[in-house]
Amino acid sequence: MNTRARVEGWLRQAFKWLNRYMILHWRLGLGPLGNRAELTGCIMVLTHRGRKSGRLRRTPVNYAIVDGAVYCVAGFGHIADWYRNLMADPAVEVWLPNGWYAGTARDVTDLPAAAKAPIVRQVLINSGFAGHLAGINAATMSDQALLDSTATYRLVRIDCAEARTGPGGPGDLAWVWPLSTLVLAVWLVLRPKRPA
């Protein structure tokens, strides 16, 4: 196995662990707090249906909003599970800092270079450390260098159709905060006092 394949395998595994944390972060109601392009990146949670299992899956991805549409890239290309799921069933939900939306995803990788480059650039700038980890400095690269470096990436456009509410969305575990605060307060009040 060559070095590049090993690094990509390691990165995919690392992102799987990071993704679990990010989903919990959003479910606890903290998603909007961490969305900073210059630090952690702009991250949304994408809910999609497994192409084999039919089960709902959640994947955090970096994104950019350009002309009212949500864009993201599959950095591992067409082999990314979430990308393949979207191609099998384009009905998705997105958790964004300003709300939760149902929408439709489609691959727009074949956009003309002049239209594609600024969108890919914005998504990668919004990815914070992830773009740099992949060796891409989207803020300084020429359009052609950027497109060459991301030639295997898939560009996905999501058109949000309606706002969602109810159970199963972002913040569904936010009740943990008041409960844990109450338990901590009771413990602090009732704990045995140490002798002086």
- Is residue 158 included in any domain, yes or no? yes
Structure tokens at 117: 């480059």
- Is residue 196 included in any domain, yes or no? no
pLDDT digits (tens, 9 = 90+) for 91-139: 999 999 888 999 999 999 999 999 999 999 999 999 877 777 777 888 8
For the residues 170-195, what does the mean pLDDT come to? Answer: 78
What does the alpha-carbon distance between residue 170 and residue 97 come to, in Å, rounded to a whole number? 9
DSSP 30: -
Structure tokens at 156: 């996905």
**Mean pLDDT over the full length of the chain:** 86
- Is residue 195 included in any domain, yes or no? no
The domain of 19 spans 3-190
Residue 166's pLDDT band, with cuts at 50, 70 and 90, is: confident
- Is residue 172 included in any domain, yes or no? yes
Q: Which residue has the tokens 């995803």?
A: 105
Q: Are 58 and 23 in contact (CB under 8 A)?
A: yes
What does the alpha-carbon distance between residue 196 and residue 194 come to, in Å, rounded to a whole number? 6
Structure tokens at 7: 């690094």
Residue 35 confidence (pLDDT): 74
- Is residue 56 included in any domain, yes or no? yes
- Is residue 166 included in any domain, yes or no? yes
Q: Which residue has the tokens 């497994």?
A: 50
CATH number of the domain that 53 lies in?
2.30.110.10
Residue 20 confidence (pLDDT): 81
Q: How many domains does the chain have?
A: 1
Closest CA to 125 of 46, 62, 34: 62
DSSP 33: G
- How many beta carbons lie within 10 A of that of residue 182, not counting itself? 10
Task: Please check the confidence at residue 37 and state whether its pLDDT lies above 70.
Answer: no
pLDDT digits (tens, 9 = 90+) for 5-32: 676 666 667 767 777 888 888 888 888 7
